[in-house]
Amino acid sequence: MTPVETMTHESTAQNRRSNMNAQTLYDKCMALASNLWWSWNPEVINLFRDLDPIRWRQLDHNPIALLREFTPERLESRASEMVLYSRIHHAYRQLKQYLSSQQTWSTTNAGVLGSKPVAYFSAEFGIHESVPIYSGGLGVLSGDHIKSASGLGVPLVAVGLFYDQGYFKQRLDEHGYQVEEYVDTKVENLPVQHALDKDGNPITIKIETRTGHLLARVWLMSVGRVRLYLLDCDVEGNSPEDRSLTSRLYGGDERTRIRQELVLGVGGVRALSALGITPGVYHLNEGHSAFGPLEVIRERMTEDGMSFDDALREVARNTVFTTHTPVPAGHDRFGAEAVEEHLGPLRDALGISYEHLMGLGRVEPQNPHESFCMTVLGLKLSRRANAVSSLHGHVSRRMWAHLWPWRSEEEIPIGHITNGVHIPSWLAWQMQQLYDRHFPAGWANRMGEPEVWQKLYAVDDGELWETHNALKNLLTAFVRRRISRQCRRRGESDDVVETARNLLDPDVLTIGFARRFATYKRADLIMSDMDRLIQLLSNEERPFQLIFAGKAHPKDEPGKELIRRIANARHESALCNRVVFIEDYDINVCRHLIQGVDVWLNNPRRPLEASGTSGQKVVLNGGLNFSILDGWWAEAFDGNNGFAIGKGTAHVSDEIGDARDAESLFDVLENKVIPLYYQRDIDGLPRQWIRMMKHSIASLAWRFSSDRMVMDYARSCYKPAAGGVSCDMNFR
């Protein structure tokens, strides 16, 4: 062999080795991107960002889409440039360890659930902005629920729908009017794979209706230790119309809705059977999936030869139902024909009459004028039902009292478990670092415990304040970037774009308001007295600024009108550019807002907010709540951990209530919030404000975490339901 040949030989081997290393590195990154565990682990997020910060942002923080733009070789060279090797290997080991760990809260506290998991059904899951299968609060709650179940090791599988267009993207036209855009999601950019049966074949489920049949395939998404199964009707064998049945979240008419819900409930139960999963508990998160237990009843009748009544009794014992809204229009209702068309074949298999089935969805079973209500069905097919805050519990018991006419209101068997948020998903990295410095080691596994958070009182005021202000600066930069982009897209003048680049003053008290633009949430309450608003906003010494965001349902014209009004505030010079509207509220926008605002405003018409969770996210990051005593805030506010609007009283009419609440809002803002924020000591620190921040975090963070929430569900719903304990639903 000549020296040259040797050299070539060696370098080929080196190449091969380096190719292999490159491939291994790439595979590890893909493995990290393929389990949504990464989405609540800042080290992994930072790692993806470091691969290409600009593309990371442009691709909606989607690591799979990002990695697909790399070859293994380019990834490797980027990794060596940025010294990422050890971080990638470390993150990968962490993930493996997490997935295989046997030591969890559940092993010691919920062992009874064992090999029969909880099946958690929800129409939407908000896990990360790059996985657009959610619209808002309900979805984010489901996402937080399964993330906490993963962390606590609660055996749980989740079932939802795969929307290939998801919910709409919001743009405002030059008049401030909302325009909806639907974007096709690329499956290859999502962390999904085909769910396989025990023989390794992809699963397709079939549902007969009176007029044909529906087919759905099943995707598997890994969310930490939890497997999320998503049903998708875009398959061969369905009519073109049915192929798009699961395209959009909350799109279409009554018929689309009932067909989607048939797929979610009945299809979901069939998918679990096809996967060989036998749940011990069925948790229906809202009424959308309430057809599901009917299919479980059918299975029990077939397998165990039971009568319908006996099977119903058994299945109801294993079923937990959570209701989420006190707004009557929020409860799905279907006409008798739609129900018979879609549930007819299942009804035949159950051997029950048309009247019997319809009666299950009615308060008065025999009343032919009553439509079929999914909430009523959920209540009748479960032995445990709950609302999502203490106040919502009271409202729900009153609302559904006529289902149990022989009971007094207090005895109505609907309890409550107050919603919470997944701390690792919503806590800013900078704030987490601060907590790491002061909290006991291993606190991340004990976030639901009050003692852990007491350490906060010992944190230096300046340290907390600086951390908060660093986050506020990030929010300011985000708002400027977004608003100038919005202006450029609308083709506005360079002057306007330039103004947008300098919007907001980080030294000014910043109030955020972001949520769905439903009229009962009264986004414009603060605009009900424009003179007073202008006077406060433009105060030379102690001004404040307002950031708005939120979508209106495409069919909600009054909601869109609210958006138009607020978005156009920027044209009013008297408002001094101190009111801004960020388009396309989603998990990403929410995260920036809740991590950076000083104050979070929430002013719904009481008691229409079942819980609300965005204010809980604010708490974690040091912002203060300024809210009507509704939903979670009614039980959270203690006089010193934030600000209350109104006294929690009922009003005779909306007009009077709106006027009183507006008066209280301005009163508290002018006399409490603003003075407290600007009252500084010689170090420039607002000591009283910081004291309130600390008290807010220490008294609320653990209580309104989804870890606490899932532990509550495990203890008072899942365990008894799995044991089939015939409890009277009264777990209040």
Ligand X SMILES: *Cc1c(COP(=O)(O)O)cnc(C)c1O
Q: Which is nearer to ligand X, 267 or 596 (CB)?
A: 596
Please report which helix (H) or strand (E) contains residue 547, including its range.
strand 544-549
Backbone conformation region of residue 502, classed left if phi is above 0, alpha if psi is from -120 to 50, else beta: alpha
Which one of 133-141, 339-347, 451-459, 621-629 is the stretch in contact with ligand X (CB under 6 A)? 133-141
Count of CB atoms within 10 A of residue 94's CB?
15
Rounded to a whole number of angstroms, the minimum distance from the CB of residue 615 to ligand X is 6
Residue with tokens 């070789």: 73
Q: Which is nearer to ligand X, 135 or 486 (CB)?
A: 135
Cα–Cα–Cα angle for 251, 233, 292, rounded to 5 degrees: 85
Within residues 515-544, the interface with ligand X by CB under 6 A covers 515
Residue 189 tokens, joined: 């950019």
Of 226, 232, 228, 229, nearest to 187 by C-alpha is: 232
Q: Which is nearer to ligand X, 221 or 590 (CB)?
A: 590
Cα dihedral 67, 68, 69, 70, rounded to 10, equals 60
- Residue 396, interface with ligand X (CB under 6 A)? no
- Residue 674, interface with ligand X (CB under 6 A)? no
Within residues 602-631, the interface with ligand X by CB under 6 A covers 612-615, 617
Dihedral of CA 711/717/718/722: which sign? positive
SS3 190: coil
Going edge to edge, which strands form the sheet with 624-628?
579-582, 544-549, 509-514, 599-602, 624-628, 643-645
Beta bridge partners of 705: 421
Q: Which is nearer to ligand X, 129 or 370 (CB)?
A: 129
Rounded to a whole number of angstroms, the minimum distance from the CB of residue 33 to ligand X is 22
- Residue 384, interface with ligand X (CB under 6 A)? no
Which one of 32-40, 208-216, 461-469, 584-592 is the stretch in contact with ligand X (CB under 6 A)? 584-592
SS3 394: helix
Rounded to a whole number of angstroms, the minimum distance from the CB of residue 587 to ligand X is 5
- Residue 546, interface with ligand X (CB under 6 A)? no
DSSP structure class, residue 235: S
CA distances to 250, 388, 528, 557, 589 from 514, rounded to whole Å, are 20, 20, 18, 18, 9
Which one of 149-157, 379-387, 481-489, 579-587 is the stretch in contact with ligand X (CB under 6 A)? 579-587
CA distances to 30, 86, 692 from 15, rounded to whole Å, are 22, 21, 60
Is the peptide bond between 450 and the residue preceding it cis, with omega within 30 degrees of 0? Answer: no
For helices 706-713 and 137-152, give the axis angle rounded to 10 degrees: 70
Q: State the burial class of residue 161 (Cβ atoms within 10 Å of its Cβ: 0-12, 13-18, 19+).
A: buried
Rounded to a whole number of angstroms, the minimum distance from the CB of residue 290 to ligand X is 22
Q: Which is nearer to ligand X, 265 or 559 (CB)?
A: 559
- Residue 549, interface with ligand X (CB under 6 A)? no
Q: Which is nearer to ligand X, 358 or 599 (CB)?
A: 599
The whole-angstrom distance between residue 511's C-alpha and the CA centroid of its chain comes to 22
Binding mask 689-708 for ligand X (x = CB under 6 A): --------------------
Within residues 316-375, the interface with ligand X by CB under 6 A covers none
Q: What is the largest CA-CA distance in the chain?
A: 99
CA distance 627 to 525: 12
- Name which position in 110, 127, 428, 587 contacts ligand X (CB under 6 A): 587
DSSP structure class, residue 509: E
- Residue 456, interface with ligand X (CB under 6 A)? no
Q: Which is nearer to ligand X, 263 or 388 (CB)?
A: 388
CA distance 9 to 17: 12
Count of CB atoms within 10 A of residue 408's CB?
9
Residues whose CB falls within 8 Å of the CB of residue 302, separated by 6 or more in sequence, listed in order: 349
Rounded to a whole number of angstroms, the minimum distance from the CB of residue 388 to ligand X is 10
- Residue 559, interface with ligand X (CB under 6 A)? no
SS3 681: coil
Rounded to a whole number of angstroms, the minimum distance from the CB of residue 595 to ligand X is 12
Length of the chain: 732
- Name which position in 63, 72, 117, 136 contacts ligand X (CB under 6 A): 136
Please report which helix (H) or strand (E) contains residue 282, including its range.
strand 281-285
DSSP assignment of 561-629 equals: HHHHHHHGGGG-GGGTT-EEEESS--HHHHHHHHHH-SEEEE-PPTT--S---HHHHHHHTT-EEEEES
Q: Which is nearer to ligand X, 419 or 716 (CB)?
A: 419
Q: Which is nearer to ligand X, 625 or 716 (CB)?
A: 625
Q: Which is nearer to ligand X, 105 or 626 (CB)?
A: 626
Number of residues that bind ligand X (CB under 6 A): 13
- Residue 268, interface with ligand X (CB under 6 A)? no
Rounded to a whole number of angstroms, the minimum distance from the CB of residue 695 to ligand X is 21
Rounded to a whole number of angstroms, the minimum distance from the CB of residue 229 to ligand X is 23
Within residues 138-197, the interface with ligand X by CB under 6 A covers 140
- Residue 420, interface with ligand X (CB under 6 A)? no
Which one of 134-142, 160-168, 576-584, 619-627 is the stretch in contact with ligand X (CB under 6 A)? 134-142
Q: Which is nearer to ligand X, 44 or 587 (CB)?
A: 587
- Name which position in 76, 261, 314, 586 contacts ligand X (CB under 6 A): 586
- Residue 132, interface with ligand X (CB under 6 A)? no
Rounded to a whole number of angstroms, the minimum distance from the CB of residue 21 to ligand X is 39
For 498-509, give one letter per residue: b (16+ CB within 10 A) or e: ebbeebbeeebb
Q: Which is nearer to ligand X, 165 or 425 (CB)?
A: 425
Residue 426 carries which side chain, given as an amino acid letter? W
Rounded to a whole number of angstroms, the minimum distance from the CB of residue 705 to ligand X is 13
Rounded to a whole number of angstroms, the minimum distance from the CB of residue 425 to ligand X is 9
Within residues 498-517, the interface with ligand X by CB under 6 A covers 515
Q: Which is nearer to ligand X, 515 or 578 (CB)?
A: 515
Which one of 17-25, 527-535, 580-588, 659-667 is the stretch in contact with ligand X (CB under 6 A)? 580-588
CA distance 135 to 516: 9
- Residue 137, interface with ligand X (CB under 6 A)? yes
The 3-class SS string of 118-161 reads: EEEECCCCCCCCCCCCCCCHHHHHHHHHHHHHHHHCCCEEEEEE
Which one of 135-143, 161-169, 222-230, 369-377 is the stretch in contact with ligand X (CB under 6 A)? 135-143
Rounded to a whole number of angstroms, the minimum distance from the CB of residue 377 to ligand X is 25
- Name which position in 590, 608, 662, 701 contacts ligand X (CB under 6 A): 590
Phi, psi (rounded to 5 degrees) for 434: -65, -45
Binding mask 45-74 for ligand X (x = CB under 6 A): ------------------------------
Rounded to a whole number of angstroms, the minimum distance from the CB of residue 419 to ligand X is 8
Residue with tokens 């809204």: 325
- Residue 123, interface with ligand X (CB under 6 A)? no
Q: Which residues bind ligand X (CB under 6 A)?
A: 136-137, 140, 515, 585-587, 590, 612-615, 617
